[in-house]
Chains A and B, each alone.
Chain A
């Protein structure tokens, strides 16, 4: 630690305090505030006065109490042990706190300094090697799923002078020494507001699969992209995110719960402990980092938590992993900024939010990407940001700013949620900015994705127009083929788009099954349309006299193999059932 300077508190107003007497204070340096040494960060300097946002409750803190400048920016500690720990916004491990209520001023090491990790050195890094930032010194098995690469900190270069032969090390014991005397450890610190460097950005090519049919098939997101989920309360945002955290095709999931409900964190934890990763059959928690700053925890730490989350993801990205950040909710982060900004007396922009909010939102989403790491590996950070628009009104600033910096929108709709259509993702307002990027990959793996996807979207769109007509002049005016289209739209909505997050069999739908279901429904639609066109059956008869509609709506209950059998004989089966139904 560098030398520090001491000042004293002159004003306290909520999370903002004023201090004088610091020598050469710098913006974004952290300080200890008061006798209890609460963590704070200098956010503004006005002449003699340093203005500090405090990451803990300030009630009872008095003027004249000391402020100590730590002369370093807000950092988090990166190393083995991040996974499956629950941290608060300033990286205090809540599991180690061991108290039912969070006491103020608790001081805890983010990562265990006593736990020994089995370090295996990288055979390529020998004494005398010129090491550059980001290079791999060796590995530690962090969880069964994750081999944690120990990296040279990105800002460190030098010739390797000594390196251990391997063995059990804690994060406090050096594992290597450079010529210039720099010691390297299993962990290092990194300032959270500074993106970690990489060698270059790569074009996005593969989908970030979620196991959710509507997302994977209609509105896919490319791995390394950014998506946003706006939704009023009660639209199932939390459940959707939980589902994404569980089932997404990602190596590391960083869950940043920012200003949200405490019970949700309890729920997330217990379900991640129990649930198996569908691909690796290991508990989900072994690939999950959680940052929890609930709505009643100090507001300034909410602001920091978003950055801590994305920095952790970048750290694992630098090891060559596919990482995802789920930030819930970016609106609470923006509100924290607004609260601090208001207390600083800054001139507000839209709806009281600071005028630099769009810049900060842009910079946050820009930390997503598929990159070549400093060590030449390939790693990605995919960011999914939830937005909680006031009154469900998407025209509010946080939603609008976020739209500009994310390529993909998964919009949740109150109407759908009210009809218990879950996930309540609207096929009308959602869009994907990744279609072009992943087309090659998808067409190689699955036939006719673009075409079938187009057909589904067209049916849903035509349905909307027909519904408008029905609303005006009634159902009588529709032709049978048009009624048939409404029927298919109904099958698509209930049988394909709806997916229960609590169903044991359907919560996760592998893309292979999604693809097969989509093709089955479209193929059935075309066959049925033929029959309706020839007037060999009516829609009403289809409902009353054939099992076809119910079968199609229940496709999701069956396995890929069963659906495949059904698919192969589809036309024959439809012909037979219709003939049988008519004969009744």
Chain B
């Protein structure tokens, strides 16, 4: 900033939603932070959305209700929004603006960083290739998570998503090194009940440290747009300045996007699909793209955004645009949940784009990729036949086809379904055992060498299904 003087104005000429309109401004910068001093002494904060001498627009974090237009004074800070960061913040609880709310005292920040961050230089990015073992077979075996990846969970209402997400957070391990994952949980517009569930789960597990940033349902929607950026600025600090490995869970991106939409419509911007602003993709990217690893540096930021799909519709703009930015997606299925399969992750539409970087010889096991391909293909075939059988009846299927139906049942019962944490070895071994349900000659996605080496001999563990 070129000018450190403060500027005070009482020139508000309009209020619309959470927006203030000011005129006769001598100096204002885009995205500058302002304080709004009310005659009562109450101070609210806001941010400049449009800088203009006669049409400056300010978005007020706490909202504009009972704001005294005539008598409130606007003070321009001459700076953008910053958050104080330090390692002592690990394990603490903050509000959506990064202020501690856990009564453990104030934080003495090491530095104050602008929350928008800077884009990572793409050519300084390290290719993510370290396997993270989450303990869940459908993820580790078929849609592997790797360090520095952004892998969202697409879910529907009532699908026990928080259980799955908290399980991932508690159980995830970095193999082959003595490093721990720092967990940052970012609540955006979720209920306090879910927030509490996460906190309690973590306290019980007490294996990792978790830092909380909370913007709950009743909190300000403007703050909701700030919260993930505050948390990610802290995550980047831990990862790229302190060399720590951080896993950031963002719940729920749908609430975030709705807040963005609300502000966009208050600004009377032309709406895109379902009323979301045309820049939703760009805006989401500025959050998701902050995951990654940097060359020649230790730490990493891995991200699991949780996205609720309204009406289970994956083509809804928020999951859709998320899917275009993130490196895959884990999809929760209502069909599986109804069948009492837990975790109800459907591996067929799920995908981890970075999977092949994180698996194989020296990382998981040499046969991992081919085994996963074969399981996918066989389950997909089983599902198609199941659909066929539901129309034409099971009798319409050949005995060969029946084997695939049987495979699909076993796969759901023994591979997808799990109550325990599984190591990757256990996951792969279960995969091989289930493959014995189809003819050995059909294993055309697996090389002969691996079939000879890993095909289970003798009786398999599972009881035959009727």
A residues near B (Cβ < 8 Å) are 10-14, 18, 35, 57-65, 86, 94-95, 97, 99-104, 232-234, 238, 259, 261-263, 265-267, 269-270, 292, 294-297, 299, 332, 335-336, 338-339, 342, 348, 351-352, 388, 390-393, 414, 417-420, 470-476, 494, 502, 540, 543, 550, 553-554
Contacts and interface: CB of A to CB of B under 8 A. Distances in A.
A305 to B, nearest CB: 12
Given A57-B116, A63-B53, A101-B117, A234 B349 contact: yes
Contacts of B324: 233, 388
B46 to A, nearest CB: 15
A471 B391 contact: yes
Interface in B256-296: 269-273, 278-279, 281-282, 285-286, 288-290, 292, 294-295
Contacts of A99: 121, 124
Contact of A269 (B123, B269, B369, B388): B123
A238 B285 contact: no
Given A348-B270, A388-B324, 19 more contacts: A14-B30, A35-B2, A59-B29, A62-B28, A62-B32, A64-B26, A95-B123, A232-B320, A262-B125, A263-B149, A266-B127, A295-B281, A352-B278, A419-B381, A471-B388, A476-B396, A540-B400, A543-B400, A550-B441
Interface residues of B, number: 90
Interface string B342-383: 000000110101101100000000000100010011001100
B80 A60 contact: yes
Nearest to A257: B122
Interface in B101-127: 114, 116-127
Given A64-B27, A392-B315, A296 B128 contact: no
Q: Which 9 pairs, one residue from A and one from B, show the smallest C-beta to C-beta distance?
A: A474-B396, A391-B315, A295-B285, A233-B323, A296-B289, A266-B125, A62-B29, A265-B122, A12-B30
B324 to A, nearest CB: 5
A152 to B, nearest CB: 33
A469 B279 CA distance: 46
B376 to A, nearest CB: 4
24 contacts: A12-B51, A13-B51, A60-B30, A95-B123, A99-B121, A100-B124, A232-B323, A233-B324, A259-B281, A261-B327, A262-B122, A263-B127, A266-B123, A296-B285, A296-B288, A296-B290, A339-B278, A339-B282, A342-B269, A342-B270, A342-B279, A391-B314, A391-B315, A393-B315
B282 A103 contact: no
Contacts of B314: 391
Interface in B35-71: 49-53, 55
Given A296-B285, A390-B317, A266 B122 contact: yes
A554 B281 CA distance: 42
B281 A262 contact: no
Contacts of A554: 444
A419 B377 contact: yes
A265 B388 contact: no
A540 B314 CA distance: 39
A104 B118 contact: yes
Contact of A102 (B118, B273, B381, B395): B118
A35 B29 CA distance: 12
B464 to A, nearest CB: 21
Contact of A262 (B292, B356, B369): B292
B119 A294 contact: yes
A263 B148 contact: yes
A233 B316 CA distance: 13
Contacts of B128: 263
B251 to A, nearest CB: 21
Q: Chain A CB within 10 Å — which of B324, B325, B351, B369 has the most?
A: B324
Contacts of B117: 101
Nearest to B57: A13
Contacts of A391: 314-317, 320
A562 to B, nearest CB: 15
Contacts of B465: none
B328 interface: yes
B144 interface: no
A419 B123 contact: no
A63 B356 contact: no
A268 B117 CA distance: 24
B52 A94 contact: no
A523 B295 CA distance: 52
B463 interface: no
Contacts of B25: 63
A239 to B, nearest CB: 8
B396 A419 contact: no
A475 B2 CA distance: 78
B238 to A, nearest CB: 15
A471 B349 CA distance: 23
A338 B282 contact: no
Contacts of A101: 117-121, 124
A295 B28 contact: no
Contacts of B400: 540, 543
A234 B323 contact: yes
Interface string B436-453: 000001001000000000
B12 interface: no
Given A11-B52, A63-B27, A94 B325 contact: no
Interface string B392-403: 110111101100
Nearest to A86: B123
A295 B282 contact: yes
Nearest to A302: B282
Given A265-B123, A419-B376, A335 B278 contact: yes
A261 B49 contact: no
Contact of A297 (B119, B125, B391): B119
Contacts of B376: 419-420
Given A11-B55, A62-B29, A296-B285, A100 B80 contact: no
Contacts of A419: 348, 376-377, 380-381
Given A62-B2, A391-B315, A418 B380 contact: yes
Contacts of A238: 353
A392 B286 CA distance: 22
Nearest to B313: A391
Contacts of A57: 116
Interface string B11-40: 000000000000001111111100000000
Contact of B121 (A102, A472, A502, A543): A102
Contacts of A295: 281-282, 285, 289, 325
Contacts of B369: 502
Contacts of B329: 233-234
B444 A292 contact: no
B282 A299 contact: yes
B240 interface: yes
Contacts of B217: none
Contacts of A232: 320, 323
B461 interface: no
A107 B191 CA distance: 47
A262 B120 contact: yes
Given A59-B80, A62-B29, A262-B120, A474 B392 contact: yes
Contacts of B349: 234, 414, 418
Q: Chain A CB within 10 Å — which of B114, B317, B392, B393 has the most?
A: B392
Contacts of A12: 29-30, 50-52
Q: Chain B CB within 10 Å — which of A104, A262, A336 has the most?
A: A262
B285 A259 contact: yes
Contacts of A472: 391-392
Nearest to B148: A263
